[in-house]
Structure 1
C-alpha cells in the first residue's frame, strides 16, 4: 500500500504493516462502530519516503544492529545521533502536502493527539507500549508537521532501541506510522483492562481513572481510582487522593493543575459510568477476540475510546469454558520441570495421561482435578494429599478456590463417586497388602520384574512396523502405559508416604523420622549419584582425562578419549553409566530434551564439581554412614515404644515398609524415561525418512508437531504445510519460554497463590517448606541449569527446581533451596537421603538470593536468611 495517509475508516487489523499496531486497532474500532474520535494515519510508506531522503540512514541502522543490547552508553550515543539527524531532515513536499490535506479533511479547528504507531507494537505477544512518543493538544499546520517528525525520530529513543534489541527485533525491519487523532477534552480519563492484570481473572474488568487527561495516570504523577467489575457488579472501589490533573491549554500544549481539596477525594467515575465502561470494554474484547488494554476518556458525559491493544502480560488459558469455575494445578511444578515444552513433548504426555484432565496452556500442562474436588470427600482429602506430597502453597490455593460459593454450587458429575470407587478400590486393596501382609524385602524384585516385562513388551510392539503404523503402535502403547503403572507399581510407591504419615500418628515424637530416610535401599536415582561419584574418583587418577573433559564437545566426546592417557579406561566406565542411565537428563519428562546419551557433556560439571567438593570415596562412606544412622534411628524409635505389644509391632512393620518402599519411589519415573527415550528413537527414525522425502527440513522439526500430526503426515492427511506449521510453532515456543507459569489457576484465568505459611520467622527471611532437617550456613550458588553448574566445597545449591537429572549435584551441595517443591518431591527426598538441610517452595529464590551471598538455610523451620548483602 503506497499511500502516505490513510483515514481510520480505511484501515483495520490487516493494515498493521502500513499503520502499525496502534493505527490498525483504532481503524478496527472505528469501522466496528465504537466511539473513536476521528483521525488519520501517516503510514509506514511515508516514513520510508522520509528516511529515503537521507544518504546516511542505512549505515546508521547497520551500526545500530551491531550494538550489544546491554551496552547502554553506546545505545544512548547512537540513538541521540539518529534522532538529531532525523529532526534536521526536511519532509518531502508531496508527503507534506498529503499530511496537510488529511488534517484539513478532519478539521483544522481541532487540537490533535499525535502518537507513534510502530509495526512491532500492540501485538498479541509484545506490546512495545510506551517505547515511542506521544504529543497532546497539538494545534496548527506547522506544529502538526513538527510533531510528526518528532514521532518518526522517537523510533530511536534509548528505551525503544534497548527494547527492540532485547526482544530480537531488527532495527531495519521496524517502521513507524504516526496516528493523528482529534483531541478530546475530558473531564475524566483512564485505562481499562478487560481482564484483571494482577490476578489474570478474565471475568474481572479493572479500571483506573482520574480527572483530566490520561497522561497524568500514564506518567505516574497521580494515584488513580481503581474500580473492578465482575458479571455486571462493582466488586471493588478504591478511591484515591488525586491532587493533580493535566488539562489542555486553548493555545495548544498541556498544563498541570492542583485540584481543589473537595475534588481530590471525589470518585472520578460514577457507578453508572463504571458499569457502562465495563460493558463497552467487554464488547471490544469480544470484537478483538482477546483481553484488551483500553484507553478511554469522558467528555460531556460521553465515553470515547482512544486506544485498544491486547493485554500481553496474561498467562494463556487452556481451551476450555470459563464457566462453571474450575481449578488447575501446574503439572510442571508437581514434576519439578516448569520450562516450556515443545508440542511433541506435550502431546506424548497427553497420550499417556487423559487429555480432559491434562490440559495445555502456554507450552505447559495443567492438571484439572475439579471433578474430584466437586465431591465432599475430594475436597477433604485432595488438598491434604497435595500439601503433604508436593507443595503447601498449592494446597492453600486449592482450598481457597474450593470454598467459594460459585465452586460449591456446582454438583459433582452423576456416577463419579461410583466410578472412582471401582477404580480406586483394587489399588487400595493392594496398598493395604503391601503395608501389612507382604514381605517388604520382596517389593524391589517384584517391581523390577514388572518394569523389565513392560520394557520388553514396549519394544517388541514397535518392531516390524514402520511409518505411520509404527507411530500408531507407539501411540497405543503410550495410551495404556499409565494404567499399567498405576496398577503394578503405584501400590508399592504409595506405601512410602502413607507409612510416614502413619508413623507420625503413632509416635509421640517424629524427631527421628527424617533419619529413616537416609540411604534408602535400592533407590535407583541415588545409585546413579553414587556412580557419578565413582566416575569422579576415577578422573582424579587420570589428570589428562580431567583436562580433556573441560573442553570436550558432544559430537566427538568418545572419539576424543582415545587420544588422552587413561581415556579408554574412563570411556569404559562412562559407557557403562550411559548404558544404564543415558536415557535420563534434566527435565526428562519432556521427550524432546537432549538425553545424556545424546549430550554426554551435560554430566561433566557434575563430575568436576564432585572432584572439587567431595573427598575420594567420601560419597560411598556417607552412604554407608547413612544406612547405619537409619538403623540406629529405627532402634531408638523401637526402644521408645518398647519391643513388644501391638503398637510396637505396627511401628516396626511400618519402618520396614517405609525403608523398602521408599527405595522404589524413583522406579516409575526411571521406567517412564526409558519408554520416552525409546519413543524418541522411533520418532527421530521416522523423522529421518521425512527429511529424505523433503517433507521436513531437519529431523528435529518433528519436535514442533504433535503425535497425531505425525501420523497424519505419514498418511498424507495433514492439512497444513508442515514447514510453515513448524516455523509458526517455533515462534510460539520462543514466546512460551518467556512466560512464568502459575502454580494454580482457575478457568477464569485467575492466578491463585494461596495464603502464606504462618509462623514466627526472622525479619526478611525467605519462607518456604522445611523439607530436610538441619541448619547450615554457606555461600549460595545459583544454578538454573545443572549442565552449567559450578559447585565448590561448602556451597549451597539454590535452584528453581530439581528432578532426577539434577541428582549428580547433590553429593556436592551443603544444603538445598528450591523455588518449587514439597515434602515428597524429588529434591526433598534426596536431600533427606543425603542428610543435607533443605528448604523448598521459596518463591523467587534464584532472584532474591544473589550468587555468592552468604545465607543460612534452616531446614527445621523452613526458611532462608541472607546473611550478607555482598556477593562475588
Structure 2
C-alpha cells in the first residue's frame, strides 16, 4: 500500500475525524489547503520499526518537492476524535509551522503523543483497536482566523450561524488564551462580544511569532465582506452533513480556507422543538407549584387567549386549527412552571405584525431570544384583514374597553363579597365557579391586548428614540419618561403601608405590642386595647390582603387575608427598622426635555409627546391590571378552598389540602374522576416529594417529547455584573442579598437590594432601598414599573449578580446605563 495519500487519491474509507473532515470539505468544493494522509497501517509499521519516519518523510519530499521554506502542520487524526457523539479534541498532539526538513522530528512527537495516550488512558489501552492516522497539511498564514458554528452551540436551534474570530493565526483562539470577537451571522450581522480590542499572532520565517492587535471596528471591517460567504458555507456544510457542525477557517489573500469540520457534540437531536422558559415565571409562581395551580393556569390562559382572538375577529376555523397552541402556552416540568414560548410565538406570528411581535415576545418576558418554526397553518387573507381592522379598532378604543373591564370586575367583586361559599357542596361550587368564569371572561381580552400594545409600542419607541437626538443627552429617555406617572395601584399599596408603619412607629405602646408579642397574640390584643390600630390593620388586609410575600398567584399560597398573622410578621419587619417617607429619588419631566431638544420641530415634538403619553397609560394599566388579576385569582382560590373542605367532609380526600394534588379538569368533573381522587393524590405526592431537590434551568428545548436543559448565556459585560438600564439614577451603597426566606429579618434601609427576582408582595422593601438590582425581569415587569414610579435607581437582567456580589460589598450602580462597579469587597 502507499505510504501516504494526497488530497486527490484518498481511498473511500475512514481515516479519523480530522482527515475525514478535510476529505469531506475538499470533495464538496470548499477551499482547503493541500493535505496528505499517512494511514494507520504505515504508522503501526513505523512504531514496530518496520519503517522509519525518516524514510517516510524522504519519500514524501522526493514525490511532492515542497518549497524548502514552506510551512506544514502535522496533526493526529484518530478514529475516536471529532465523533458525532463525543469530541476528544486536544487529546493528541499537533505540531505546526514546520519546514520540510523539520518534519521527521514533528512526526516523532505526534507518534509519541499517541503512545502516551494509550499508556495513560485506560479506556483506550483496554478498549478494542482504534485507528490512528496523521494529516500533513500546508500552513496558511491567515490574516484572520476563526471558528464557525452552523448553529449557536448555546441554543442548538438558532436559525443563524455564528463565528468567533481573532486577527492572525487561530492558535490562541482555539486554546482560549485570547478573547475572540463573536458575530451572529443574521441579516444584518450582529457583534455579540463587547471587547474594544482583539489580540492574535502572526507568523513569518524571519521574525517567527509576533503579536497583532485590532480594534473592534477594524477587525469587523476586515471580515465584513466575507460574512455572506461564511454564512452560506456554514449552512451548506450543515445541510450536507445532516447535523450541526463546528468548523475552523482562516482568511488569506481575501480568500476563505477551511481547515477542519466536526460535529457539534450535543445530545439535542434535530427536529420540531418547543422552547420552554421560566425567566419571568418565578415572580408569581416561584419554586414548586402544585398540580391544581398549574392546571388551572393552563386552563385560564388558554381561555383568555381564545377569547382575545375571537374578539379580534378570528373565526372558529382559526381557533380549531390552533387548538394545540392555545392549550400549551403553559407547561409543567417536575413541579416547576414554564412558558411554552414557541406556542406564543406561533400564535403571534399569525396575527398582524406577527413577524416582529413573535420575535419580541421573549423580550417581553425578560427572556433571551428564541427561534421557532413557522406554523404550518395561517390565517386566510380575509381573516388577516379582519384581524388587522379589529386590532386597529382596539388600539383606538382601548380606553373604552378598559373602563368596561374595570366596571365589570368591580360588579363581580361586589357580588362575590356578598356571597357565602361556606357549606356548599362540590357540585354547587363547580356551578358557581363556571358562572363566575363566564362573567369574567367577557372582557378577559382587555389586559392581554393592553400587554400586547405595550410590548409593541414600547419596543418600537425605544428603537426610534435610540436613533433620535434625544438619545445623546438622555440615553434612558423612555424609561425616564415613565418615572412618577401616577395612578399606579402598587404605589398606593406602598404609601398605605408606609402610613400604617409610621403611625405605629409613633405610638410606643402599639409598637411594643407588635415587636414583642407572638404573631397570634397581636391582633386580639390590639382589638381590645387599641381598636383604631386594629381597624387600620384590618382595613389594609381587607383592601390589599390578596398580596403575600410569596407566590401570590398560587392556589396553595396562604395570603394575608387568609392568615392575618402573616401580615403581622411582615408589619413587624417594617416597624422594627428606621422609618422614612417615600419620596422619589429622581424626577423627570419628558415634556420639558422635548421642548428643549425640539424647539422648532413642533411636528416631531407632538408625535413624541402623543406616543409617549399613550405608552405611559399602557404601562400604568398593565401594572394595575396585574393587581386586578391578583384579586380575581383570590376569588378562585376561595372557591377551591371550599371545594377542598367539601371533599374532605364527603371523604373523597383524606387530608386538608389534598385537592391541591388534583388537576383542574379532575375537580371540575367529579362524575368521571372522584373515585380516583385518593389514588391520584397518593401517586402525585410521591412524585412531588422527588421534585423538592430538583434544580431547574431557566430554559429547556423539547425535541421529540424529550427535554434538554439549555445553559443560560453568560453575561457579556467584562466584570460579569452589568445589566439592563431600567430606572435612572446613580447611587452607591452596601449590597444586601434578598431571598424569600430572609426578607423579614433584614435591615434594608439605605442598601442596594440584589435578588434573582422581586416578587409583587415585596413592595414594602422598595421604599427603604437605595437601589434595586435583579438577575431577571423585563423593562415592563412589576419591579421595573414600581422602581420607575418611585424614582429608585434600578437595573434588571444583571446575570449572575447574586453569585458575583456578596453581602457587605460596596458598589456603584447607574440605572441609566446598567453599569455596576464594585468599589469595595466585603
1:746 aligns with 701
Contact kept in structure 2, 1:828 and 1:838, CA below 8 Å: yes
1:801 aligns with 757
Deviations 1:676-714 (A, max 9, x none): 2112222222222322333333322222222233345x5
1:350 aligns with 2:311: no
1:381 aligns with 2:357: yes
1:661 aligns with 2:618: yes
Q: 1:494 to 1:323 in 2, by over 3 A?
A: closer
Contact kept in structure 2, 1:610 and 1:812, CA below 8 Å: no
1:547 aligns with 2:512: yes
5+ residue gaps in structure 2?
Answer: 1-77, 94-110, 131-267, 303-326
Instruction: Write the distance in 2 (CA, Å) between the matches of 1:460 and 1:608.
Output: 32
Contact kept in structure 1, 2:775 and 2:796, CA below 8 Å: yes
Contact kept in structure 1, 2:284 and 2:553, CA below 8 Å: no
Alignment of 1:460-475 (within 5 A): 466-473=424-431
Aligned equivalent of 1:263, options 92, 115, 126? 115
Deviations 1:256-310 (A, max 9, x none): xxx974333469669x9899xxxxxxxxxxxxxxxxxxxxxxxxxxxxxxxxxxx
Shift of 1:379: 5.6
Instruction: Write the distance in 1 (CA, Å) between the matches of 2:356 and 2:735.
Output: 39
Shift of 1:343: 1.2
1:489 aligns with 2:447: yes
1:685 aligns with 2:648: no
Alignment of 1:504-543 (within 5 A): 504=462, 505=464, 507-510=468-471, 511=474, 512-543=477-508
1:569 aligns with 2:542: no
Instruction: Write the distance in 2 (CA, Å) between the matches of 1:335 and 1:758.
Output: 24
Deviations 1:426-450 (A, max 9, x none): 6622453158xx6xxx887555324
Deviations 1:655-676 (A, max 9, x none): 3323333322222222222222
Contact kept in structure 2, 1:329 and 1:743, CA below 8 Å: yes
Contact kept in structure 2, 1:552 and 1:601, CA below 8 Å: no
Shift of 1:646: 2.9
Contact kept in structure 1, 2:329 and 2:343, CA below 8 Å: no
Instruction: Write the distance in 2 (CA, Å) between the matches of 1:508 and 1:717.
Output: 64
Q: 1:640 to 1:808 in 2, by over 3 A?
A: same
1:578 aligns with 2:541: yes
Instruction: Write the distance in 1 (CA, Å) between the matches of 2:270 and 2:517.
Output: 51
5+ residue gaps in structure 1?
Answer: 1-224, 244-258, 276-316
1:729 aligns with 2:684: yes
Instruction: Write the distance in 2 (CA, Å) between the matches of 1:226 and 1:771.
Output: 52
2:288 aligns with 340
Contact kept in structure 1, 2:723 and 2:799, CA below 8 Å: yes
Q: 1:580 to 1:728 in 2, by over 3 A?
A: same
Instruction: Write the distance in 1 (CA, Å) between the matches of 2:390 and 2:738.
Output: 39
Alignment of 1:7-406 (within 5 A): 234-239=84-89, 241=91, 261-265=113-117, 323-330=271-278, 332-333=280-281, 335=283, 337-354=285-302, 355-370=327-342, 373=345, 378=354, 380-387=356-363, 389-391=364-366, 394-396=367-369, 398-399=370-371, 402=372
> Which secondary structure state, in structure 1, belongs to the residue aligned with residue 277 of structure 2?
strand
> Which secondary structure state, in structure 2, belongs to the residue aligned with residue 820 of structure 1?
coil
Q: 1:480 to 1:752 in 2, by over 3 A?
A: farther
Q: 1:552 to 1:708 in 2, by over 3 A?
A: farther
2:410 aligns with 452
Aligned equivalent of 1:600, options 564, 571, 587? 564
Task: Select between 363-372 and 376-385 the one with higher mean Cα deviation.
Answer: 376-385
Shift of 1:326: 2.2
RMSD: 4.0
Deviations 1:526-585 (A, max 9, x none): 211111111111111222322322355554442132355xx3222111111111111122
Q: 1:359 to 1:498 in 2, by over 3 A?
A: closer
Return the TM-score normalized by structure 1. Answer: 0.56
Deviations 1:795-851 (A, max 9, x none): 111222123211121111111122221211111221122112222223343344323
Q: 1:475 to 1:693 in 2, by over 3 A?
A: closer
Q: 1:693 to 1:533 in 2, by over 3 A?
A: same
Contact kept in structure 2, 1:691 and 1:698, CA below 8 Å: yes
> Which secondary structure state, in structure 2, belongs to the residue aligned with residue 852 of structure 1?
coil
1:297 aligns with none
Q: 1:737 to 1:814 in 2, by over 3 A?
A: farther
Contact kept in structure 2, 1:240 and 1:265, CA below 8 Å: no
Contact kept in structure 2, 1:462 and 1:470, CA below 8 Å: no
1:833 aligns with 2:789: yes
Instruction: Write the distance in 1 (CA, Å) between the matches of 2:491 and 2:655.
Output: 37
> Which secondary structure state, in structure 2, belongs to the residue aligned with residue 750 of structure 1?
strand
Instruction: Write the distance in 1 (CA, Å) between the matches of 2:800 and 2:414.
Output: 43
> Which secondary structure state, in structure 2, belongs to the residue aligned with residue 788 of structure 1?
coil
Instruction: Write the distance in 2 (CA, Å) between the matches of 1:464 and 1:599.
Output: 17
Task: Select between 507-516 and 588-597 the one with higher mean Cα deviation.
Answer: 507-516
Q: 1:344 to 1:720 in 2, by over 3 A?
A: same
2:773 aligns with 817
- The runs of at least 4 aligned residues of structure 1 exceeding 6 Å deviation read 225-229, 272-275, 417-420, 457-465
Instruction: Write the distance in 2 (CA, Å) between the matches of 1:866 and 1:613.
Output: 27
Q: 1:269 to 1:395 in 2, by over 3 A?
A: same
Instruction: Write the distance in 2 (CA, Å) between the matches of 1:483 and 1:658.
Output: 25
Contact kept in structure 2, 1:779 and 1:855, CA below 8 Å: yes
Task: Select between 555-564 and 347-356 the one with higher mean Cα deviation.
Answer: 555-564
Instruction: Write the distance in 2 (CA, Å) between the matches of 1:353 and 1:792.
Output: 36
Contact kept in structure 2, 1:780 and 1:852, CA below 8 Å: yes
Shift of 1:485: 4.9
Contact kept in structure 1, 2:284 and 2:552, CA below 8 Å: no
Instruction: Write the distance in 1 (CA, Å) between the matches of 2:797 and 2:79.
Output: 32
Shift of 1:725: 3.9
Contact kept in structure 2, 1:857 and 1:863, CA below 8 Å: yes
Q: 1:842 to 1:264 in 2, by over 3 A?
A: farther
Instruction: Write the distance in 2 (CA, Å) between the matches of 1:339 and 1:451.
Output: 30
> Which secondary structure state, in structure 2, belongs to the residue aligned with residue 720 of structure 1?
helix
> Which secondary structure state, in structure 2, belongs to the residue aligned with residue 647 of structure 1?
helix
> Which secondary structure state, in structure 2, belongs to the residue aligned with residue 846 of structure 1?
helix
Contact kept in structure 1, 2:281 and 2:337, CA below 8 Å: no
Contact kept in structure 2, 1:434 and 1:492, CA below 8 Å: no
Instruction: Write the distance in 2 (CA, Å) between the matches of 1:750 and 1:378.
Output: 28
Contact kept in structure 2, 1:643 and 1:649, CA below 8 Å: no
Contact kept in structure 1, 2:809 and 2:824, CA below 8 Å: yes
1:433 aligns with 2:396: yes
